[in-house]
A = this chain, B = another copy of it.
Amino acid sequence: MMLKPRGRLASPASKPSLGNGERVLRESVNLAAKLATFSAHWSPKTVAEFNGDDVMVVKVQGEFVWHSHADTDDFFLVLQGRLTIELRDRKVQLGPGELFVVPKGVEHRPVAEEEVHLLLIEPSGTPNTGDVATAAPRELI
């Protein structure tokens, strides 16, 4: 469950060579097509890079853990379904075409009663739980 350090993309040996990041930056990405390639929840997949940030798609359902990111804001754009982002003082409800940026350092917990598809953006190497010990590994699709 170790995360790669920031920098070049690493990909599983079974995937086509993407090690130099070039292909990722120069291809158009169909978000629905990328989402159709996997079914696991809470396992973000990097589909593009932008200035050292990972642009990711993820499917979520249920309650995530409360966490915060000390060094980065957290970008959520709902593509399908309805997401609640619980903050300590209120809840933010998001439907398709709605986005929210959790400021860095702010505790939050994403909750989805039914499956939700999201676009996420975070600096490469950011642990999704805020803690490398419990974070999902970085995966490129």
Contact = CB atoms under 8 A, between A and B. Distances in A.
Interface residues of A, number: 33
A93 B32 CA distance: 16
B28 A100 contact: yes
Copies of this chain held together in the complex: 2
A113 interface: no
A97 B32 contact: yes
Chain A: interface secondary structure?
strand
A73 B99 contact: no
A51 B73 contact: yes
Given A103-B26, A121-B121, A75 B50 contact: yes
Given A25-B73, A73-B50, A101 B32 contact: no
A103 B13 CA distance: 25
A118 interface: no
Interface string A65-108: 00000001101010100000000000011100111110110000
Contacts of A27: 100
Closest 7 CB pairs of A and B: A28-B100, A31-B97, A25-B103, A50-B75, A29-B99, A51-B73, A30-B98
13 contacts: A27-B100, A28-B98, A28-B99, A30-B98, A49-B73, A49-B101, A50-B121, A51-B53, A51-B73, A51-B104, A51-B123, A77-B119, A79-B97
